[in-house]
Chains A and B, each alone.
Chain A
Amino acid sequence: MNAFMKNFLRNKGAVAGLILLSIVVIVAVIAPFIYPQSPWTMVQRPFQPPMALDGFYFGTDVLGRDIGAGLAHGARVSLIVGLVSTLVALLIGLPIGALAGYFGGIWDDILMRFTEFFQTIPSFALAIVIVAILQPSLSGIVLAISIVSWPPVARLVRGEFLSLRSREYVQAAILSGLSPMNIIFRQILPNAISPIIVLASLMVASAILLESALSFLGLGDPNVMSWGYMIGAGRTVLRQAWWICVFPGLAILFTVLALNLIGEGLNDALNPRLARKGR
């Protein structure tokens, strides 16, 4: 663990990512304290540019809502949706990949065709259709994002299991009569966990991007403020009020960038042999 921390902290990009992400997490946590009012309340005159009014560092939007409040509360939504939908995607992809890789043969064929099918469908279009059918809500968005983002997990886990299942310790476990479930989850999975962690951190990033795109199109939960919604709402007044669109976009950019940097840092630290190999 110590060597891992050392490796990780030696990577400047990863440290920068960690600092950026910490800032976002802190803002998300203290959002209700610095902006106790709902981000939907109209608190000032509309179209105030940044810094024009005391305490409104990011200006106000078309309806006079504080953009700073929207940014802080939006951080919560982005992080929660990113995390939860990644977890759900792992819950779908892990068993499918594990079963395919462990049992092989016909199971592998069926499950991988199924996975390929989901990879062929244009994922963003499918996400739109799912949210439109389920009606916009936080759980609908999470479900849609996880349904379109599990296939890479299944493929990765399958690959790991295929190579690990012929190892001696697995053969020994089979011989000693352990049940397949036990072998899959307690013997093989812990050894396949590091690439899964790397993939998961990158998936949180793409889930946040996907959520912002959905709420940009007006498919966000109408009860929660999100960065994508703010950009979508400010789009029509882009010429008059650039700040309404610019700040939420920067927030998304920094958060996703931070997660990508951390993912790469984790990758280098967890797979030291592969590190820097032309990355």
Chain B
Amino acid sequence: MQTLRYILMRLAKAAVILFAIVILNFCLIHAAPGDPAAVMAGEAGASDELFLQQLREKFGLDQPFHIQLWKYISGLLQLDMGYSYRQDAPVWDLIMDRLPATLLLTGAAFVLSIVLGVVAGVMAAVRVGKWADTAITVAALLLYATPLFWVALMAILLFSVQLGWFPSYGMESIGSELTGFRYWLDVAHHLVLPATTLGLFFTAIYARMTRASFLETAAEDFVKTARAKGLSEGRIARRHILRNAILPVVTLAGLQAGQIVGGAVLTETVFAWPGIGRLMFDALLQRDYNVLLGVFLISSAMVLLFNLITDLIYLLVDPRIELNT
């Protein structure tokens, strides 16, 4: 019952934030350069002042601010995010077409970075001061300082151009028409480089965090007790220390969700991954503000979703969590 209330509270909070994001988005659309009517008229090849006036009336651009905001919100509730005149399609359709690819990429990168980061962090902490610890710490420091898009380019240079192990472009082999299992294998092959490069930066963060948290927990009294009971070191590390040490990592992972979604723009651009990040880049080049802000809105919503999921995971990992917050 309490758990249900906690989840409902979180949902309500997410809804409030989403509403605020919608308003921010509306303001940004208004701040975008270019009168939408002039843009539409330009696309239609007309610049007659009367025609502009008609367009403004038709799309309600002459209405006061709050009415336009209301129209925008009610449009959103009907999944109407405006129209892309460049691509000649509703923005919602464009985004939904691309969203699965982004969810696949960010999800894979997220899981990879957490698993790899926690494993590396624990390995470093267990061998604190030895060469393995130094190597992992230095690697984390370097990864943390490297621009994501540059790592992606270097990965292409090494693994695609030099070694030819992985494809550097797109999500599936062009014209192969594979189906079923073979198709997914092909997608997975294409996914390796983008997901790894996107995940590596976060791997560095989680590794450092896990190492610090693990060392801190290992100094606590209950670990001494466990050791005094004669438990094996491996069992202490896995069941006693790690379970407690992983909590701050989960918190951090929730906070980093926004960064992963942002990083997807760069990764998708470099690897021509057909997701919403790539869509955003194309919209940017064409100054297609409807699409640009539509992607911004959807990616904010994605972050909220990621945050909700980590909250739920936290609930599972740490039963002590205060439910009334």
Query: A122 near B: Cβ within 8 Å?
Result: yes
A127 to B, closest residue via Cβ: B262
Q: Interface 1/0s, chain A 96-132, versus B by CB < 8 A? A: 0000000000000000000011011111111011101
- B residues near A257, Cβ cutoff 8 Å: 141-142, 145
A239 to B, closest residue via Cβ: B161
Q: How far is the CA of A232 from the CA of B97 in the complex (A)?
A: 27
- B residues near A242, Cβ cutoff 8 Å: 157
Query: B114 near A: Cβ within 8 Å?
Result: no
Given known pairs A228-B147, A253-B145, A278-B212, the reply for A123 and B153 (CB within 8 Å) is no
- B residues near A209, Cβ cutoff 8 Å: 145, 147
- B residues near A195, Cβ cutoff 8 Å: none
- A residues near B120, Cβ cutoff 8 Å: none
Contact of A128 among B144, B149, B156, B280 (CB under 8 A): B280
Q: Which of A119-148 contact B (CB under 8 A)?
A: 119-126, 128-130, 132-133, 135
Contact of A278 among B149, B215, B300 (CB under 8 A): B215
- B residues near A124, Cβ cutoff 8 Å: 259, 262-263, 265-266
Q: Determine whether the beta carbon of A218 is less than 8 Å from that of B284.
A: yes
Q: Determine whether the beta carbon of A246 is less than 8 Å from that of B154.
A: yes
Query: A279 near B: Cβ within 8 Å?
Result: yes
- A residues near B33, Cβ cutoff 8 Å: 133, 135
Q: Determine whether the beta carbon of B147 is less than 8 Å from that of A125.
A: no
Query: B200 near A: Cβ within 8 Å?
Result: no
- B residues near A246, Cβ cutoff 8 Å: 154
Q: Determine whether the beta carbon of B141 is less than 8 Å from that of A260.
A: yes
Q: How far is the CA of A217 from the CA of B263 in the complex (A)?
A: 12
Given known pairs A129-B292, A231-B153, the reply for A120 and B258 (CB within 8 Å) is yes
Q: How far is the CA of A97 from the CA of B116 in the complex (A)?
A: 35
- B residues near A216, Cβ cutoff 8 Å: 147, 149, 266
- B residues near A269, Cβ cutoff 8 Å: none
| Chain B interface residue bracket vs A | 35 or more
Q: Interface 1/0s, chain B 256-282, versus A by CB < 8 A? A: 001101110110011000000000110
- B residues near A69, Cβ cutoff 8 Å: none
Query: A267 near B: Cβ within 8 Å?
Result: no
Q: Which of B298-320 contact A (CB under 8 A)?
A: 299-300, 302-304, 307
Given known pairs A117-B17, A121-B300, A217-B284, the reply for A129 and B28 (CB within 8 Å) is yes
Q: Determine whether the beta carbon of A238 is less than 8 Å from that of B284.
A: no
Query: B21 near A: Cβ within 8 Å?
Result: yes
A242 to B, closest residue via Cβ: B157
Q: Determine whether the beta carbon of B150 is less than 8 Å from that of A132.
A: no
Tell me how far the C-beta of A242 lies from the nearest C-beta in chain B, rounded to whole angstroms: 6
Contact of B270 among A130, A212, A235, A260 (CB under 8 A): A235
- B residues near A117, Cβ cutoff 8 Å: 17, 20-21
Given known pairs A213-B148, A231-B149, the reply for A120 and B161 (CB within 8 Å) is no
Most buried by B among A216, A231, A256: A216
Q: Binding site of B, secondary structure by majority: helix, strand, loop or mixed?
A: helix
Contact of A235 among B141, B153, B289 (CB under 8 A): B153
- A residues near B148, Cβ cutoff 8 Å: 213
Q: Determine whether the beta carbon of A256 is less than 8 Å from that of B145.
A: yes
Query: B190 near A: Cβ within 8 Å?
Result: no
Q: How far is the CA of A120 from the CA of B20 in the complex (A)?
A: 11
Q: Determine whether the beta carbon of A253 is less than 8 Å from that of B146.
A: yes
Q: Determine whether the beta carbon of A133 is less than 8 Å from that of B28.
A: yes
Q: Determine whether the beta carbon of B157 is less than 8 Å from that of A125.
A: no
Q: Which of A232-279 contact B (CB under 8 A)?
A: 235, 238-239, 242, 245-246, 249, 252-253, 256-257, 260-261, 277-279
Q: How far is the CA of A271 from the CA of B112 in the complex (A)?
A: 34
Q: How far is the CA of A119 from the CA of B85 in the complex (A)?
A: 32
Q: How far is the CA of A260 from the CA of B285 in the complex (A)?
A: 33
- A residues near B24, Cβ cutoff 8 Å: 121
Query: A67 near B: Cβ within 8 Å?
Result: no
Q: Determine whether the beta carbon of A122 is less than 8 Å from that of B262.
A: yes
Q: Which of B10-52 contact A (CB under 8 A)?
A: 17, 20-21, 24, 28, 31-33
Q: Interface 1/0s, chain A 158-169, versus B by CB < 8 A? A: 000000000000
- B residues near A213, Cβ cutoff 8 Å: 147-149, 266
Q: Interface 1/0s, chain A 184-223, versus B by CB < 8 A? A: 0000000000000000000001000100110011110000
Q: How far is the CA of A278 from the CA of B212 in the complex (A)?
A: 5
Query: B216 near A: Cβ within 8 Å?
Result: yes
Q: Determine whether the beta carbon of A278 is less than 8 Å from that of B211.
A: yes
Query: B72 near A: Cβ within 8 Å?
Result: no
- A residues near B211, Cβ cutoff 8 Å: 278
Q: Determine whether the beta carbon of B261 is less than 8 Å from that of A122.
A: yes
Q: How far is the CA of A135 from the CA of B307 in the complex (A)?
A: 32
Besides A119-B255, A238-B157, A249-B153, 14 new A-B residue pairs in contact (Cβ under 8 A), listed by A number: A116-B17, A119-B258, A120-B17, A122-B262, A129-B293, A135-B33, A213-B148, A217-B266, A217-B284, A238-B153, A249-B146, A249-B154, A252-B147, A260-B141
Can you sample 7 A-B contacts with CB below 8 Å? A117-B20, A119-B255, A120-B258, A124-B263, A125-B295, A135-B33, A242-B157
Interface residues of A (CB under 8 A from B): 116-117, 119-126, 128-130, 132-133, 135, 205, 209, 212-213, 216-219, 228, 231, 235, 238-239, 242, 245-246, 249, 252-253, 256-257, 260-261, 277-279
